[in-house]
């Protein structure tokens, strides 16, 4: 593979530095062309590091903010069993956030900085979590559609060229499968319940379907960074390709649920061998990303409160670490 990022090498390098940079770039290019892994201490182009840092930190923020719509329902779950399952799921999402913050830290940014960017409203997270969860059936639709879309997106990321990200994704994907199953099962039970329960399930699917499809990001012709991410083996499939696969999976599963997808344009294109879906409202997507979704302000406010409430935990942990270090030093 040709050196694609020498333009990121700063000017005015000494001959030795330049030689080191060139050797680093050659090593990086070889690793990428062999579809092997870059590790934190390896040389990497600055643009690669920045792209990953942005992607992994946004992913971490999404896991953490994504706890909120479901956490709201833990105390209202219809049975002890449902409560335990939902609590375990929300805790898993916290764990995903933590793995991902750790992976992002290996790229040279502290978790404190990422958190302060999030609560200052400077960082992005997945637009899906700015929609409200208004009924119990939403727990089913979120698990089935939102975690389902996350799996489609994330399974290929297990092979991402950056080692810590790929390894974090392996574990996360295992847990996401359980999340999708529990969502599916909630919907199945409601669908087989009373007419009102079935209607509640259908209504939740109707509301979460389009936002879930938009989780794959803008259409390929409006996604300028995708090509570079694919050349770096971070991303393996385009947004539209993943979205089409997802529609193909859901179209079969919804039959088992006895429900329908709110999209009369879904069809399998025999020529392209791809699933197609109806138009999506990309203006809505951009508005929600820009902070104008139904719950953006509430989600950030809640995150700020949780951060403030957790101040004593951070202080206690820092003090404990200080004492441990003192003991070790004295020993």
Nearer to Fe ion, 31 or 169 (CB): 169
Task: Compute the distance between CA of residue 186 and CA of residue 190 in angstroms, rounded to an integer.
Answer: 6
Sign of the Cα pseudo-torsion (93, 99, 102, 104, in order): negative
Closest approach of Fe ion to the CB of residue 151, in Å = 8
Task: Compute the distance between CA of residue 302 and CA of residue 161 in angstroms, rounded to an integer.
Answer: 34
- 70 contributes a contact to Fe ion by CB under 5 A: no
Closest approach of Fe ion to the CB of residue 107, in Å = 20
Task: Compute the distance between CA of residue 205 and CA of residue 199 in angstroms, rounded to an integer.
Answer: 10
Closest approach of Fe ion to the CB of residue 178, in Å = 8
Nearer to Fe ion, 179 or 303 (CB): 179
Q: How many residues bind Fe ion (CB under 5 A)?
A: 6
Instruction: Kindly state the DSSP code that residue 68 receives in the 8-state scheme.
Output: H
Binding mask 279-298 for Fe ion (x = CB under 5 A): --------------------
Span interacting with Fe ion, options 51-59, 109-117, 169-177, 288-296, rule CB under 5 A = 169-177
List the structure tokens of 307. Answer: 């951060």
Nearer to Fe ion, 93 or 138 (CB): 93
Q: In degrees, to the nearest 5, what angle opens at C-alpha 267 toward C-alphas 266 and 273?
A: 135
DSSP letters spanning 8-36:
GS-SS--HHHHHHHHHHHHHHHHHHHTT-
Closest approach of Fe ion to the CB of residue 315, in Å = 28
Span interacting with Fe ion, options 75-83, 90-98, 218-226, 248-256, rule CB under 5 A = 90-98
Instruction: Kindly state the DSSP code that residue 275 receives in the 8-state scheme.
Output: E
Cα pseudo-dihedral 81, 84, 88, 90, rounded to 10: 100
Sign of the Cα pseudo-torsion (123, 227, 247, 179, in order): negative
Span interacting with Fe ion, options 43-51, 173-181, 192-200, 291-299, rule CB under 5 A = 173-181
Nearer to Fe ion, 93 or 105 (CB): 93
Nearer to Fe ion, 89 or 207 (CB): 89
Among 93, 138, 240, 263, binds Fe ion (CB under 5 A): 93
Burial letters 163-173, b for 16+ CB under 10 A, else e: bbbbebbeebb
Closest approach of Fe ion to the CB of residue 50, in Å = 24
Closest approach of Fe ion to the CB of residue 215, in Å = 12
Judge contact between 49 and 108, C-beta under 8 A.
yes
- 179 contributes a contact to Fe ion by CB under 5 A: yes
- 96 contributes a contact to Fe ion by CB under 5 A: yes
List the structure tokens of 9. Answer: 């090498």
Closest approach of Fe ion to the CB of residue 150, in Å = 6
Among 105, 138, 147, 240, binds Fe ion (CB under 5 A): 147
- Looking only at the bridges linking them, the beta strands covering 267-269 and 274-276 are antiparallel
Closest approach of Fe ion to the CB of residue 148, in Å = 10
Contacts with Fe ion by CB under 5 A lie at: 63, 93, 96, 147, 176, 179
């Amino acid at each position: 593979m040709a050196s694609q990022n020498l333009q990121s090498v700063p000017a005015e390098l000494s001959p030795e530095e330049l030689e080191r940079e060139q050797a680093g770039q050659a090593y990086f290019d070889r690793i990428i062309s062999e579809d092997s892994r870059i590790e934190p201490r390896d040389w990497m182009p600055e643009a690669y590091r920045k792209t990953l840092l942005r992607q992994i930190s946004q992913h971490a923020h999404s896991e953490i903010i994504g706890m909120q719509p479901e956490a709201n329902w833990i105390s209202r779950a219809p049975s002890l069993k449902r409560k335990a399952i939902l609590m375990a799921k929300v805790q898993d999402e916290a764990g995903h956030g933590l793995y991902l913050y750790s992976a992002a830290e290996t790229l040279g940014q502290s978790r404190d900085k990422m958190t302060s960017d999030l609560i200052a409203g400077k960082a992005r997270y997945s637009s899906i979590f700015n929609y409200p969860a208004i009924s119990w059936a939403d727990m089913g639709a979120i698990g089935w559609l939102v975690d389902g879309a996350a799996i489609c997106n994330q399974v290929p990321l297990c092979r991402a060229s950056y080692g810590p990200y790929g390894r974090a994704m392996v574990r996360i994907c295992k847990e996401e499968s359980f999340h999708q199953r529990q969502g599916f099962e909630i919907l199945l039970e409601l669908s087989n319940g009373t007419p009102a329960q079935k209607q509640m399930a259908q209504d939740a699917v109707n509301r979460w379907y389009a936002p879930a499809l938009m989780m794959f990001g803008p259409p390929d012709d409006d996604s300028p960074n995708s090509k570079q991410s694919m050349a770096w083996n971070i991303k393996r499939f385009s947004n539209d390709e993943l979205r089409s696969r997802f529609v193909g999976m859901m179209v079969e599963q919804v039959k088992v649920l006895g429900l329908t997808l709110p999209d009369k344009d879904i069809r399998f294109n025999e020529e392209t061998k791809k699933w197609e879906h109806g138009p999506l409202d990309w203006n809505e997507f951009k508005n929600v990303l820009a902070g104008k979704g139904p719950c953006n302000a509430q989600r950030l406010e809640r995150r700020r409160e949780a951060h403030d409430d957790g101040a004593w935990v951070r202080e206690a942990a820092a003090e404990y670490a200080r004492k441990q270090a003192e003991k070790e030093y004295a020993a």
